[in-house]
Structure 1
């Protein structure tokens, strides 16, 4: 088990990078605490797998260092880093039984037979593999084989960290929630640093204590699931986290009022004058934007209402801009004329994509 430090880490796949645009992974300084559950979240091509492969030793960074506790492992091969890695697709020995597959990492390291047997039984119980322990892996489904892969990664109790590279890709949707919950329980029980790469926000937010959101090779925010939802530090985070994502609208700001076209939106705090050279935007999540009858808020054109089971989502236009908003249970709109009520405490202002701190009452910056 280890604390993992990324010290001025950056990586380019071309041999002579000239600037930030040439880096697949832009400079990152970060510390993963020992025993934490972390997720690397972002779309395909954002750099998260590159970062995971650098941590595991499959890729050597162009610059910077990786430390496990205070030990520099930057130049050490994978096998010298004492990690376990679970890949996107199952890695199992088909000719072995499930029991033999789970025991293999321990047998390779000379762990005594009785302790190996006990550990295999423990992991099999956690992953619900007990009923198939003596079956050949070749006769099992892809779901079951990936459970074996997970078990092989989890069976060693002495590893510095366990790295998961989108491990639930081949798992049937109805089993994914169960396995995410199981991994969370295992993490609590084993106190091992776990780093989980995914492009699926549901997987990241349900598994991790801290989520590292990546975009275009850079880390744009690290925080708890609640922090990412309540206070996105970047418009990409607001848009990427949530379903639907945050509404992002061009605006101008004057003190405690934002203007979307000619419509004024009250803010819960005032903002100093923002440079005209910057792209100024307002962000608000649909959950904090409520559809109302005409005259009860800022005027909008209602395009449609989608019933998604757990809620109703309105698709509207305001000053020619599309927005999504929540629909209260007691609201029924006739025609296409409606209004929106903004919750000022959940309106965020961004400059060139980055959250701007405002001033609360008394001049306190928030």
Structure 2
């Protein structure tokens, strides 16, 4: 196992005119399970291929612990990679496909057999070990590919590039659980690339969120959900994502339209200052209060629709022409066209400028508009 350290690593496919991966300094710590989360085209696979050695970065250096591997080919890095679609020897049996990475590295025969049977048991492949790989359905072929990446006991990391894309949805939950079990047993460093927030949040010890070629936030799943540091993180994580509403700082009060909704708390605490001017309020639907009188800080809203989700309702509203969603208990009485008020709990409401979190709300403590 080894820490994977990137120092100023960036990559351009067009001679530096644009960056698929902007120069990045980052450390992936040994024996942790990471999810690299972001939309298509954000640079996830580029970053993974740089770590594995399939791509040489345009700038920067890559280290495994203190060993500079920037110019070292994939075979010299002791890194296993599993791709989005199956990569197998189709005429080989499942057993031989799983054994191939070990035989190629001259592992003893009994060690090969032990590792193959251990991985096949964990992935549910025991009944097809002697079957030719080409006779399996694509989902089962990908599970074999996953096994090939996990079978080696001594690797610096296992890189998984959207490995469950072709797997039947009913199996995905089971396989994610199996991956976590294998991670606990082997201690491999796992970096799991996905655009699916559910996969990322249920699998990883730490989620690294990538957008437009740069890391915008990293942390445990609860931290990313409850305390987004960037508007993109708030939008991308959550279903539906975080509400964003234009507001203004006037003195030390945050105002939406003509309504004061809270006092300003700069991101730096008492030592920081947020100058007056436009900001954007970010608050998740789960924390938006809806209904009640205008006596407490809130903003008037008009209900535009209600999604009855079974376990809960999503109430869609407009605040000054801007959409806001509130999640309520199932069977709520809100009806399209009705007027209501939205309330934002200070401890769950954040302020953003230039998409980056710059502060949060505090209760008004009974003070009105200055």
Instruction: Give the structure-1-normalised TM-score.
Output: 0.92
State whether residues 254 and 273 of structure 1, in contact with CA within 8 Å, keep that contact through their aligned partners in structure 2.
no
The whole-number CA distance in structure 1 between the counterparts of 2:214 and 2:338 is 42
Query: Over aligned residue pairs, what C-alpha RMSD do you find?
Result: 1.9
- Number of residue pairs aligned between Structure 1 and Structure 2: 355
Aligned partner of 1:351 among 338, 350, 353: 353
List runs of 5+ in structure 2 lacking aligned partners: 267-271, 364-370
Q: Which residue of 1 aligns with 2:122?
A: 126
- Which residue is 2:343 aligned to? 341
Match of 2:138 among 137, 142, 145: 142
Tell me which of 179, 196, 216 is aligned to 1:220.
216
CA drift of 1:242 comes to 0.5
Question: Would you say the 8 A contact 1:48–1:214 is kept in 2?
Answer: yes
3-state SS of 1:105 partner? helix
Cα offset, 1:180, TM superposition = 0.9
Any idea what the Cα deviations from partners look like across 1:10-59, whole Å, max 9, x if unmatched? 111122x26xxx21111211111100111111111111111111101111
1:188 is matched with 184
The aligned counterpart of 1:91 is 87
The structural deviation recorded for 1:329 is 4.4
Q: Within 1, Cα distance between the matches of 2:274 and 2:45?
A: 40
- The CA deviation string for residues 130-179 of structure 1, in whole angstroms up to 9 with x for no partner, is 11111121211111111100000000001111001110110111111111
Measured after TM superposition, the shift of residue 310 of structure 1 is 3.0
Change (3 A) 1:272 1:243: same
1:173 corresponds to 2:174 = no
Provide the C-alpha distance between the structure 2 equivalents of 1:357 and 1:319, rounded to a whole number of angstroms.
23
The match for 1:303 is 304
Aligned to 1:51: 47
Q: Matched residue of 2:84: which SS? A: coil
- Name which of 1, 22, 30 aligns with 1:34: 30
CA distance in 2, matches of 1:267, 1:225: 28
In structure 1, what is the Cα distance between the partners aligned to 2:299 and 2:362? Answer: 24
**1:69-126 deviation per Cα after TM superposition (whole angstroms, max 9, x unaligned):** 1100000111111111000001112211111111111111111111110111100111
Distance 1:168 1:229 in 2: 23
Deviation larger for 351-360 or 130-139: 351-360
For the 8 Å contact 1:3–1:68, the answer to whether it is kept is: yes
Pick from 228, 247, 253: which aligns with 1:251?
Answer: 247
Cα pair distance change 1:268/1:280, threshold 3 Å: closer
For the residue of structure 2 that corresponds to 1:242, the secondary structure is coil
Any conservation in 2 of the 1:294–1:337 contact (CA below 8 Å)?
A: no
Q: CA deviation at 1:346?
A: 0.3
Cα distance in 2 between the residues matched to 1:212 and 1:324: 26
**2:320 matched to which residue of 1?**
319
In 2, the alpha carbon distance for the partners of 1:294 and 1:132 equals 65
Q: Is the 8 A contact 2:3 2:64 kept in 1?
A: yes
Which residue in the other structure is 2:14 paired with?
14
Structure 1 SS opposite 2:141: helix
Q: Verify the 8 A CA contact 1:262 1:319 in the aligned structure 2.
A: no
- Look up the SS of the partner of 1:327 in the other structure: strand
Check 1:273–1:357 CA distance in 2 against 1; reply closer, same or farther (3 A cut): closer
- Separation (CA, whole Å) in 1 of partners of 2:340 and 2:359: 32
- Cα distance in 1 for partners of 2:251, 2:331 equals 34
CA contact (8 A) 2:265 2:359 kept: no
Contact 2:249–2:276 (Cα < 8 Å) also in 1: no
Matched with 1:242 is 238
**CA 1:330–1:97: 2 relative to 1, 3 Å:** closer
